Amino acid sequence: MIEEPFASGNSIIHGIDPRFRVAAATFYSFAVALCYQFQPLIAALAVALVSVLLSEVGLKTVFKRLVVVNGFILLFWIVLPLTYKGKIVYSLGPVNVYLAGIVFAAKITIKSNAILLVLISFIATMTFATLGHTLSRFKLPEKLVFLLMITYRYIFVIQQEYQKIIRSIKIRGFKPKTTLHTYKTFAYVIGMLLIRASERANRVYNAMRCRGFKGKYYSLTYFTADTKSWVFVTIVFGVTSGILLMEFLING
């Protein structure tokens, strides 16, 4: 199950108009992605930490999310120090560890964690449905938004169908081995899942037609651009611009 652990809350961030949050998070992410110096990156990470604290989300859950992403970043720490040529800090026989690689991996780590934390506090604090509607307000093509929402809705149904099939093969004593029988069974499972998904899609479309669907999707959400949303977006844009300025000044 995809859950939305951060979506419900009463923090300052939760109260900001979703459109402003999406705009702020987008600007911040691009700005931070452009930075290469340690000073602006550390400033960005500090901003991200403050925003997570402001959004009052469960820090334990946030930490779990970070662990997943940093698992991928760990790969950079293995590959980059050994391959990014430059000053050697340590040698073990034919294997050299380069300083530039370590610096680069460190920057990537700070950058990704900062962006992730801001996305958690600005974007993950709204439901998927709200995000979809917000994106449609930003004139993202109607079809893309619709595809996103439908995918989100039916991913659970397909997952349930998958579990149903898996249960039904398990109760008949199926144990995966490296045999032709195993491969054949898995092929059947995938095939059956595809057929069921397409039949389901057909039935859903029919049900939508019965309710007068003619290709247009309406959104019920009302957005209110109040003072606090404007203050919020001004602060985020200001601070982010400051980070960018720092980057350009150091770069000369």
Partner 1 sequence: MDKNQSIIKMRGINFSHFENSPILKDLDFEFLKGDKIGFIAPNGSGKTTLFHLMMGLIKPVSGTIEIFGKPMETEQDFSQIRHRIGLLFQDADDQLFCPTVLEDVSFGPLNMGKSKKEAIDISKRTLGFLGLSDFENRITFKLSGGEKKLVSLATVLSMEPEALLLDEPLTGLDTKTRTTITRALTEMNISYIIISHNIEFLKNTTSKTLTMRDGQIYTDKQVHVHIHDHAHVHGNIPHKH
Count other Cβ atoms within 10 Å, centred on residue 113: 19
100 or 129, CB closer to partner 1?
Answer: 129
Site string for partner 1, 84-123 (x = CB under 8 A): ----------------------------------------
Residue 138 φ then ψ, to 5°:
-85, 15
Q: Which is nearer to partner 1, 159 or 241 (CB)?
A: 159
Q: State the minimum distance, in angstroms, from the CB of residue 193 to partner 1.
A: 15
Q: Which residue has the tokens 């662990």?
A: 67
Judged by CB under 8 A, how many residues of this single chain contact partner 1?
Answer: 26
Stretch that binds partner 1, among 30-38, 49-57, 70-78, 144-152 (CB under 8 A): 144-152
When asked if residue 157 is in the footprint of partner 1 (CB under 8 A), the reply is yes
Options 74-82, 85-93, 102-110, 204-212: segment touching partner 1 (CB under 8 A): 204-212
Closer residue to partner 1, CB minimum distance, 168 or 202: 202
| Interior angle at CA 234, CA 54 and CA 244, nearest 5 | 90
**Which residue, 120, 137, 83, is CA-closest to 105?**
83
Which of 118, 110, 127 shows the shortest CA–CA distance to 53? 118
Residue 161 CB, shortest distance to partner 1, in Å, is 10
Cβ proximity to partner 1, 90 vs 213, nearer residue: 213
Cβ(149)–Cβ(132) below 8 Å: yes
Binding mask 162-201 for partner 1 (x = CB under 8 A): --------------------------------------x-
- Measured CA distances, 197 to 170, 201, 204, 238 (Å): 21, 6, 10, 47
Contact 13, 125 (CB under 8 A): yes
CB atoms within 10 A of CB 25: 20
CB of 19 to partner 1, least distance (A): 17
d(CA 15, CA 228): 8
Name the residues that contact partner 1, by CB under 8 A. Answer: 127-129, 132, 149-150, 152-154, 156-157, 200, 203-204, 206-214, 216, 218, 220
